[in-house]
A and B are shown apart, each in its own frame.
Chain A
Amino acid sequence: MRETEFAIVGAGPAGLSAAIEAARAGVQVTLIDENDKPGGQLFKQIHKFFGSKEHYAGVRGIDIGVQLLHEVETCGVEVMLNAVVWGIFADHTLGIIHDHKNLHLKAKKILLATGASENALAFPGWTLPGVMGAGAIQTLVNIHRVLPGRRVLMVGSGNVGLIVSYQLLQAGAEVVAVLEAMPKIGGYGVHASKLRRHGVPILTSTTIKEARGKGKVEEAITIGLDEHWREIPGTEKAYQVDVICLALGLTPLSELAWMAGCQFDYIPQLGGHIPVHDANMETTVNGIYVAGDVSGIEEASTAMEEGKLAGIAVAEALGYLSAAEAACKKEVVLRRLDELRSGPFGGVRKQAKEQLHQQRCSQ
């Protein structure tokens, strides 16, 4: 069995940030990812980030990714790619399939930074080729430079739905409409305005009713909803499209946290069942930490700060940072997280996070 001081599962923004922070303090770090490249979803995010300057405001996700990878390379982190973590055992041992071989890795501390998966929506015809997740579109268009269709209907007007719609326009596709079941647009006004300026209608109180086509999507039927979410007969509209894109939010990928015996709480504002954690990002299981979307769906910017917190906390717990040094570093990160979680969108998440922290502390 192999051993390491700090094993991190997931090399997205949270995992990379944690690795850098801990390794800089002197911790031996093993960063594990199932993909053939690190970076998680950062390299698909070709839009500019919001927030303060410390938060990479105005910088595109792809450029942040390049920067983080460079830092990871220079601070001596062991990066294990094409490695799927299939299990986690009581003695902090991970079961890993790496390059088709099974191995066990025992760690003093473990960070689960496994991210999230996209929510789907079942409607007649939703299994037809051409119905895809927004993440799929981002991956295909922004990384592989392939447009899976020419005319797209977007379902969901959260930030992902709005941003991916705009990215589709940038890539040369037509977005016939963005649907939103709620009575108002889900995402930031600035993203919605960009679409509107390009003449893309955002239809609120409207949802997808059916996808039709022979062997693949050829037509989408939409329908209006009343204030009780009931379909309004007679409001159906048909759109000739070859792609229906689903941007319906994310659910934390928390299997390993369940397996480890972490206590969970159901917090809809954060995407569902969330492992309870404290301000150090430590779960109810000693030595197991969470950061990024698995600890509550937010954004890449918050994921990076949470990763740093976990990295600092682990370095402190392993004796690489004094309590005073750690407190000082944490304070800076916590202040930035507070800034990111302000305003009408962030405020809701801040409250939900505090609820989780209180639960952990009251134990």
Chain B
Amino acid sequence: MRVEEHPILGEMKKPNVVEIEVDGEIIPAIEGEPIAAALLAAGKSIFRYTRKRNEPRGVFCAIGRCTDCMMVVDGIPNVRTCVTPVRAGMKIQTQHGLGEFGGPLS
């Protein structure tokens, strides 16, 4: 959910909306925002599943420290989506375990 209006920050500046692909689904995203922000705005909360127990993980710290939000981005696993900016046409996949190199490239 986007915070379009805000009593202190005012109206949101007109963003440059692009499309990214998440597990095959096209979602809108704002160019330059962290991938994690775009996913949360689109209502997605599970970013990866853990290696041993296959438990879901999402965004925890949002500043690149905790690595909970790692996904496969353009074929590269373990990318911290909270500090990786959106580019048009990125292909993002939910990560399973440690992830694998490869997969779709943008």
Contact = CB atoms under 8 A, between A and B. Distances in A.
A129 B62 contact: no
A128 B1 CA distance: 19
Contact of B34 (A132, A144, A215): A144
B74 interface: no
B46 A216 contact: yes
A142 B3 CA distance: 9
A215 B59 contact: no
A127 B68 CA distance: 9
A140 B40 contact: yes
A139 B7 contact: no
A141 B2 CA distance: 9
A227 interface: no
A142 B9 contact: yes
A343 B32 CA distance: 43
A127 B64 CA distance: 17
Contacts of B2: 145-147
A116 B39 CA distance: 26
A109 B37 CA distance: 38
Nearest to B60: A132
Contact of A135 (B7, B41, B56, B63): B63
Interface in A108-125: 117-118, 120
A315 B1 CA distance: 48
A219 B33 CA distance: 29
A151 to B, nearest CB: 12
Contacts of A139: 62-63, 82
Contact of B60 (A133, A144, A150, A171): A133
Interface in B24-66: 33-34, 36-37, 40-41, 45-47, 55-65
A144 B12 CA distance: 10
Interface in A321-336: none
Interface residues of B, number: 33
Given A118-B61, A128-B56, A141-B3, A46 B40 contact: no
B6 interface: yes
A211 to B, nearest CB: 12
B104 interface: no
B3 A46 contact: no
Interface string A3-46: 00000000000000000000000000000001110000000001
Contacts of A59: none
Contacts of B41: 146
B59 A129 contact: yes
Given A35-B83, A129-B46, A145 B3 contact: yes
A141 B3 CA distance: 7
Contact of A136 (B7, B55, B56, B61): B61
Contacts of A46: 8-9
Given A144-B33, A146-B40, A172-B3, 6 more contacts: A117-B65, A128-B56, A130-B58, A132-B60, A136-B60, A140-B36
A-B pairs, 6 with minimum CB distance: A129-B58, A136-B62, A144-B37, A129-B45, A145-B3, A139-B62
30 contacts: A36-B85, A46-B9, A117-B61, A118-B61, A120-B60, A127-B57, A127-B68, A129-B47, A129-B56, A130-B45, A132-B59, A133-B60, A133-B61, A135-B62, A136-B62, A139-B62, A140-B37, A141-B3, A144-B34, A144-B37, A145-B3, A146-B37, A148-B40, A148-B45, A148-B59, A170-B6, A170-B8, A171-B6, A215-B46, A216-B56
